[in-house]
Amino acid sequence: MALINLNIILLVVLVFLVGRNILKLIFERRQHVLGAHLRTRLVVAFVGIALLPATLMFLAAVVFLGNSIEKWFDGQVENSLEGSLEVARTYYEDLSRTALGFAHQIGTRVSSEGLLAPARRADLKRFLEEHRAEYQLDVVEVFARGQTLGRAKRSDLPGGIGLEPWSKFVRRAASGQEVTTVDSVGEADMIRAATPLMSDGHPVAIVVVDAYVPKSLVKRREEIDRAFGEYLRLKIQRRPIQTAYTITLALVTLVVIFSATWVGFYVARRITVPIERLAAGTR
C-alpha cells in the first residue's frame, strides 16, 4: 500500500509537470515560435523510445505475475497441504481408537476378575500398572462412585495430567456412553478414551486410557493447521492480490513513461534554446 501511494504521488507530480510543458509547447506551436516543431519531434521521439519497452515490460510482468500466482495456488500445492493435515487428523483418530480399544480390554479384565471390590484396591492398582506397561500405554485410570480407584502412568510424564472423578469427561462416560476427547496439557496434547463398565444395564465404573502426544508433534500439527488456513485465506484473496500487484506495475510503468516525457521536454529545451538564440542573433 505504501508503494502504491508513493507511485501515485510521483505520478501526480509528473502529470502536472508534463501537462504544463505540453500546454506550453502547444501555445508555442500556435504562436509559431522558432524551434517549437523541433522540440515537438524530440519529445515525441523520447516518448516513443520509452513507451515501447515500458509497455512490453508491463505486459510481460503482468503475464509472469498471473502465471506465478496460479502456480502458488496450484492443485498439487493444495492437495499436499490437505494430505499433511489429513495425516495429522488420522494420527489423532487412530490414537483415539487404539486408546478406546485398550480401555475395553482393561475394563473387561477388571470386571471379570472382580477388581472393583474395595478389598482388592491394591490388586487393581497393580493390575493397571502391569497392563499399562504391557500395552505401552501412557495413563490408565479407573473411577467409580466419584472416586479414583486406581491410576497408573508413565514415570517420565509430567505431573497433574490425570483426570479428577468429577471432571466433565468422566461424568459423560458415567452416563453410559463411550467418549473420546483431546485435552491440552501444557504444550502437549492428551488423547483420552473412556468406556463405562456396566452391571445390570447400569455403569458401575469408568476406565480411562490416555495417549500422550509430545509438544514436538503438537507443534508440527499446529504449523500444518496454520499453513493450510493461511493458504485458504490467500486463495480467497488471490484476485485482489493480483489486481493490487497489477495496479502497482501499471503505476510504475506510467511513472517511467511520464518521466521519459519530462526528460524529453528538458533535453529538447536544452537543444532548441541555443538554436533560438543563434537565430535571433543572426537577424
Of the two residues 256 and 275, the one the predictor is more confident about is: 256
Residue pair 151/129 in contact (Cβ under 8 Å)? The answer is no
Confidence at residue 7, expressed as pLDDT on a 0 to 100 scale:
57
First to last CA, the chain: 57
| Mean per-residue pLDDT, 123-143 | 91
The pLDDT, as a whole number, for residue 250 is 81
Q: Which domains does the chain have, with CATH numbers?
A: 2-72+242-282 (no CATH), 94-230 (3.30.450.20)
Between 181 and 268, where is the model more confident? 181
> Which residue has cell 476427547?
181
Q: Which residue has the higher pLDDT, 242 or 106?
A: 106
Sorted by sequence, the CB contacts under 8 Å of residue 227 that are 6+ apart come out as: 81
Whether this model's pTM surpasses 0.85? no
Name the residue with cell 495425516.
Answer: 87
Q: How confident is the model at residue 106 (pLDDT cuts 50, 70, 90)?
A: very high
Mean pLDDT of the chain: 80
pLDDT at 151 over 70: yes
Which range (28-32, 70-74, 86-90) has the least confidence? 28-32
User: Virtual CA dihedral for 98, 104, 109, 115, nearest 10 degrees?
Assistant: 110
Under the banding of pLDDT at 50, 70 and 90, the label for residue 105 is very high
C-alpha cell of 38?
523541433
Least confident of 15-29, 45-59, 105-119: 15-29
Q: Check if the beta carbon of residue 98 is closer than 8 Å to that of residue 211.
A: yes
Determine which of 36-40, 133-137, 277-281 has the lowest per-residue pLDDT on average.
277-281
Max Cα-Cα span within the chain: 131
More confident position, 266 or 199: 199
2: pLDDT strictly greater than 70: no
What is the percent of the chain with per-residue pLDDT over 90, rounded to a whole number? Answer: 15
What pLDDT, on a 0 to 100 scale, did the predictor assign at position 165? 84
CA distance 137 to 191: 11
pLDDT for 128 equals 92
128 CB burial (10 A radius; 0-12, 13-18, 19+): buried
Contacts within 8 Å (CB) and 24+ apart, 155-164: 157/212, 158/185, 158/186, 161/185, 161/190, 161/210, 161/212, 163/192, 163/208
Q: What is the pLDDT of residue 275?
A: 63
Contact 204, 144 (CB under 8 A): yes
Spatial contact of 140 and 106, defined as CB atoms under 8 Å apart: yes
pLDDT score at 64: 86
DSSP letters, 222-278, are HHHHHHHHHHHHHHHTHHHHHHHHHHHHHHHHHHHHHHHHHHHHHHHHHHHHHHHHH
What pLDDT, on a 0 to 100 scale, did the predictor assign at position 103? 92
Helices (H), 160-237: 168-174, 215-236
The residue with greater pLDDT, 147 or 75, is 147
